[in-house]
Amino acid sequence: MDCTKLAEDGIPELRMEFNNEEDTYKFYNKYVFRMGFSVRKDYLNKDKDGVVTSRRYSCCKEGVKCKYEEHNHELHITQRAHMMPSQRKVSETQEFQTKISEDAGLSLKQSHELMGKEAGGMENVGYTREDLKRYLRTRRERSLKYGEAGSMLNYF
C-alpha cells in the first residue's frame, strides 16, 4: 500500500494491509503526528516461514491494547511534535557532520551544541543528545562487527 495515496482522512482501521512493514510504520507515524502523540512498535507476529503477519503499534506513553480517540494523558503540542521519540531522526548530513566533529576531537556535547548553533537553536536540531549518543554507539558497534580480535587481524 502506498501510504501517500491513503483515504483522505488517513485514520487507521482494523485489518488494513500494507506492502511492507516500512510503509505501515510510515502510515502510523503520519497519523500519530497529526493526532499529537508518538507511536512505538509493540509486538510482532510471524508465520512459520518468518514472514510478518501482524504488528501492533502502541501509544508511546501508555501502550494500551485498544484504540481510543481520546487519551488519558497530555498530548504533545504541535510546535514540539518533531521531538516525539518516533519523529526524531539524525539526518545523513548530520551523521556526516558528527563523524567530522568526532574526527576533529570534539566531544559529544560540543558536537551537539555545534549542530544546535548551525540549526539556529537546539529546538531546531531534530534529535536529542541521547539520540546522537545512540547513533555513535551503533556506528562504533558496526565498525567492530568482526569483534575486537577480528578488527585487529583486519588492521594488520
15-31: pLDDT as tens digits:
788 888 888 888 888 88
45-89: pLDDT as tens digits:
888 898 888 888 777 765 445 555 665 556 655 555 555 666 667
What is the reported pLDDT for 43?
80
**How many CB atoms lie under 10 A from the CB of residue 23?**
15
Q: Can you give the residue ranges of every domain in the chain?
A: 1-70, 88-156
- Enclosing H/E stretch for 43: strand 39-46
Residue reference for cell 483522505: 8
Nearest to 89 by CA among 117, 126, 34, 133: 126
2, pLDDT greater than 50 = no
pTM over 0.85: no
**pLDDT bucket at 91, cuts 50 / 70 / 90:** confident
Nearest to 88 by CA among 147, 142, 130: 130
d(CA 110, CA 64): 39
d(CA 118, CA 120): 6
